[in-house]
């Protein structure tokens, strides 16, 4: 176990608390947009996917990474766009 | 230089995500929050591309282009009624992406310490369960698979066995590195199976809980992957999403007055034990009207409350309901909508549906706001909702839904229930409301019935 891991665990715990504090009393209208918007954020895996694809060209890892980029981008672009579409609908 | 610049951009991206989520949870700033969060994502992607380990940009851009196009098409084309399926699908893609990244890291080769393998195992487990679980949820919501719970004897014991198998395989892989590859494949296979078995026994009415839980998992999957590739951006963003999913899951569980364990493991509606002790007197009969018989009652009403449920989404009756509302308001009738927190198949499902039909937000009322008003309501129109209006939840301790907060529609003067047939809802529970003296059933397709009402009232 390294000090690095310990720091990462610190970050995890603090981020969970921030998450609970930041998202408070969500009105029912926003339940779906919050879900699809936060789902788009979970597409952050794209970072790992890009690294896997770009740093090991020609390996099986790069191929897996490429598929991961496609899936993560569907999640990111689709998620943010559909959330925006819903929220603009509410605005009217 | 890049050792400093990249982490700082990641930090900014995390800040944008936090601000974005905060704005997303308040009505006035929600749209801005969505843009803020997407800027955060753009920053994270740019920062990653700056990494000098990256040699092959072409594959990356091709994959980004393909993914973005598919995502954009899906987001533009989807009908609002199909929103729950789409959210399930996106959840699944997120989980699958995390699974693939962890797998790519495994096949990177070289030696890695035992605890890294254990972290990869955890990441694969969460990613797989999110992926296959969301896929089953998608199949159920899309109607490709039966929506009611699918169970077999000893299912929980079997699932427990699968979890043990995963733990055993990961430890065996650590102790005997020559077996590492085969153990890794076993872990992926078993985890995928576990995700399938985890969602199969959950019925349609419990879908809002499952969808929000899977939403949380998709974040946790990204977070676990962050530990695998040692990237703080993934850990922070992933745990934020995990937390927001847990908050939604909690709201949904409270809406049903059940614990998460009860939702996941009880499989309400799967057994027929409930139907054995039905509290409904067989002597009691139901009253059924044709739509045209109801006109006088509507015209004499001062206040009409409309209770939408999943049936409204299925029949796509939301636009017709808005027509009815405008017509009634033209005659001086006050029209309100009562929204139960777990109505539909995902959190906020009814709000999205009614907004699509341009129904003004200020005519929507929450459970707490509307319940005291039912006594002064002349007509309540229940469209495709069932368990959330069942009075048994208030008094029948034998009912599986006992204790669930419900809309007290039975307290209004007259209740019209629009329904296809007398079949019980997803929970498989007989509804007392249908047999009450002040309840009148109108059988048929919800959209047809409402459009008949509209033409009769014109």
Q: In what order do the strands lie in the sheet with B439-443?
A: B364-366, B334-339, B303-308, B379-383, B414-419, B439-443
CA B349 to chain A, closest CA, distance in angstroms equals 7
Task: Judge if B82 and B230 occupy the same domain.
Answer: yes
User: What distance in Å separates the CA atoms of residue B26 and residue B141, rounded to the nearest whole number?
Assistant: 28
The chain B residue lying nearest A74, using CA atoms, is B71
B138 domain residue, yes or no: yes
Query: Residue B22: inside a domain, yes or no?
Result: no
- CB of B400 closer than 8 Å to CB of B411: no
Instruction: Evaluate whether B174 touches B117 at the Cβ level (below 8 Å).
Output: yes
Cβ under 8 Å to A: B residues 395-454 = none
Q: Which residues pair with B364 in a beta bridge?
A: B337
CA distance B304 to B380: 6
Across chain A, mean pLDDT equals 91
Pull the structure tokens for residue B397.
Answer: 């301790």
- Average pLDDT estimate for A10-36: 90
Same domain? For B304 and B451 the reply is yes
Average pLDDT for residues B291-312, to the nearest whole number? 89
* Residue-range definition of the domain harbouring residue B253: 78-266
Selected for mutation to probe chain B from A4, A22, A33, A45 (highest B CB count within 10 Å) is A45
Please judge whether B226 and A48 are an interchain contact, meaning their C-beta atoms are less than 8 angstroms apart. yes
Cβ contacts from A onto B, under 8 A: 367
Structural domains in chain B (count) = 2
pTM of the model: 0.89
pLDDT of residue B1: 65
List B residues 345-364 in contact with A (Cβ-Cβ < 8 A): 346-349, 351-352, 355-356, 358, 361, 364
- CB within 8 Å: A90 and B30: yes
**What pLDDT sits at residue A62?**
94
| pLDDT greater than 60 at residue B270 | no
What lies within 8 Å, CB to CB, of A73 at 6+ separation is A43, A46, B63, B64, B66, B67, B68, B70, B71
Active site residue B250: no
- Considering only CB atoms, A47 lies closest to which of B34, B44, B108, namely B44
Residue B273 belongs to some domain of the structure: no
pLDDT: which is higher, B281 or A23: A23
Of B235, B266, B297, which residue sits at a domain end? Answer: B266
Contact between residue B186 and residue B167 where contact means Cβ atoms under 8 Å apart: no
pLDDT score of B343 more than 50? yes
Same domain, B301 and B261: no
> Does the pLDDT of residue B281 top 80, yes or no?
no
Distance from CA of A72 to the nearest CA of B (A): 6
Question: Is a pLDDT exceeding 60 seen at residue B425?
Answer: no
Whether residue B398 sits in one domain with residue B332: yes
Please tell me which of the candidates A19, A73, A78 has its beta carbon nearest to residue B244: A19
Same domain, B242 and B357: no
pLDDT of residue B275 exceeding 80: no
Q: What is the pLDDT of residue B295?
A: 85
B207 shares a domain with B101: yes
Same domain, B305 and B239: no
Query: Does one domain contain both B233 and B302?
Result: no
Say whether both B123 and B191 belong to one domain. yes
Choose the catalytic residue: B281, B378, B387, B448. Answer: B387
Residues of chain B positioned with their CB less than 8 A from the CB of A12: 223, 235, 239
Structure tokens at B115: 């605890």
Q: Is residue B39 in a domain?
A: no
The per-residue pLDDT for B276 is 40
Please say if the pLDDT value at position B16 is more than 60: yes
Residues B152-192: pLDDT tens digits? 778 888 888 999 999 999 999 888 888 888 999 999 999 99
Out of A60, A74, A84, name the one closest to residue B67 (CB).
A74
Residue B350 and residue B427 share a domain: yes
Q: Give the whole-angstrom CA distance, residue A92 versus residue B7.
A: 40
The answer to whether residues B198 and B97 belong to one domain is yes
- Nearest of A55, A16, A37 to residue B32 by alpha carbon: A37
Among the candidates B266, B299, B334, a domain finishes at B266
Rounded-to-integer distance, Cα A68 and Cα B337, Å: 43
Q: Is residue B27 part of a domain?
A: no
Beta strands in B241-375 (DSSP E): 303-308, 334-339, 364-366
* pLDDT computed for residue A34 by the predictor: 93
CA separation for the pair B439, B296 (Å, rounded): 16
Nearest to A78 by CA among B91, B104, B428: B91
- Domain boundary residue, one of B266, B300, B329: B266
Q: Which residues of A touch B368 (CB under 8 A)?
A: none
Contact A29 B348 (CB under 8 A): yes
Residue B443 shares a structural domain with residue B335: yes
B6 assigned to some structural domain: no
Judge contact between B203 and B424, C-beta under 8 A: no
From chain B, the residues in CB contact with A26 under 8 A are: 25, 247-248, 251
Query: What's the pLDDT score for residue B267?
Result: 59
Looking at residue B264, its pLDDT comes to 77
Residue B131 falls inside a structural domain: yes
Q: Which of A15, A40, A74 sits opposite B236 (nearest CB)?
A: A15
**Residue B16, CB half-sphere, CA atoms under 13 Å: how many?**
22
What is the per-residue pLDDT for B321? 94
Chain B residues inside the 8 Å CB shell of A66: 59-60, 62-63
Say which CATH number the domain at B441 has: 3.40.50.1220
Q: Residue B273 pLDDT more than 70?
A: no
B35 contacts chain A (CB < 8 A): yes
């Amino acid at each position: 176990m390294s000090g690095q891991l310990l720091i990462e665990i610190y970050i995890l715990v603090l981020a969970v608390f921030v998450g609970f504090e930041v998202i408070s009393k969500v009105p029912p209208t926003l339940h779906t947009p919050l879900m699809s918007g936060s789902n788009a954020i979970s597409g952050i895996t794209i970072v790992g996917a890009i690294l896997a694809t770009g740093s090991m060209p020609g390996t099986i890892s790069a191929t897996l990474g490429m598929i991961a980029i496609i899936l993560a981008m569907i999640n990111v672009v689709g998620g943010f766009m559909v959330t925006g579409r819903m929220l603009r609908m509410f605005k009217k | 230089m890049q050792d400093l610049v990249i982490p700082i951009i990641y930090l900014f991206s995390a800040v944008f995500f936090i601000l974005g989520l905060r704005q997303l949870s308040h009505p006035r700033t929600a749209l801005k929050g969505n843009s803020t969060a997407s800027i955060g994502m753009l920053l994270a992607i740019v920062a990653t591309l700056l990494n000098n380990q990256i040699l092959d940009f072409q594959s990356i851009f091709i994959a980004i282009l393909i993914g973005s196009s598919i995502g954009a098409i899906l987001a533009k084309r989807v009908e609002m009624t199909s929103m729950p399926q789409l959210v399930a699908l996106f959840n699944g893609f997120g989980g699958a992406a995390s699974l693939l990244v962890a797998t790519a890291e495994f096949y990177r080769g070289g030696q890695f310490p035992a605890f890294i393998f254990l972290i990869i195992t955890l990441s694969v487990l969460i990613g797989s369960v999110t992926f296959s679980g969301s896929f089953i949820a998608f199949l159920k919501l899309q109607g490709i698979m039966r929506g009611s719970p699918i169970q077999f004897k000893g299912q929980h014991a079997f699932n427990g066995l699968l979890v043990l198998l995963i733990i055993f395989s990961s430890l065996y892989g650590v102790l005997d590195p020559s077996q590492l590859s085969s153990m890794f494949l076993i872990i992926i296979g078993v985890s995928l199976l576990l995700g399938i078995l985890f969602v199969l026994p959950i019925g349609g009415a419990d879908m809002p809980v499952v969808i929000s839980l899977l939403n949380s998992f998709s974040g946790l999957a990204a977070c676990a992957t962050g530990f695998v590739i040692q990237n703080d951006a993934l850990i922070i963003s992933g745990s934020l999403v995990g937390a927001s999913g847990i908050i939604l899951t909690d709201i949904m569980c409270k809406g049903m007055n059940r614990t998460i364990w009860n939702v996941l493991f009880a499989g309400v509606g799967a057994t027929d034990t409930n139907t054995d002790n039905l509290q409904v007197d067989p002597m009691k009969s139901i009253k059924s009207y044709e739509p045209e018989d109801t006109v006088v009652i509507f015209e004499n009403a001062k206040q009409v409350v409309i209770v939408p449920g999943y049936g409204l989404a299925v029949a796509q009756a939301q636009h017709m309901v808005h027509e009815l509302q405008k017509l009634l308001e033209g005659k001086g009738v006050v029209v309100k909508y009562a929204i139960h927190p777990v109505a539909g198949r995902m959190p906020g499902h009814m709000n999205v549906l009614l907004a699509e039909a341009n129904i003004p937000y200020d005519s929507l009322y929450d459970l707490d706001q509307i319940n005291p008003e039912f006594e002064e309501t002349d007509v309540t129109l229940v469209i495709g909702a069932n368990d959330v209006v069942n009075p048994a939840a208030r008094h029948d301790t034998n009912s599986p839904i006992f204790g669930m907060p419900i809309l007290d529609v039975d307290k209004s003067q007259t209740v019209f229930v629009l329904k296809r047939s007398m079949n019980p809802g997803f929970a498989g529970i007989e509804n007392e409301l249908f047999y009450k003296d002040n309840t009148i059933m109108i059988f048929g397709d919800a959209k047809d019935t409402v459009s008949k009402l509209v033409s009769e009232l014109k």
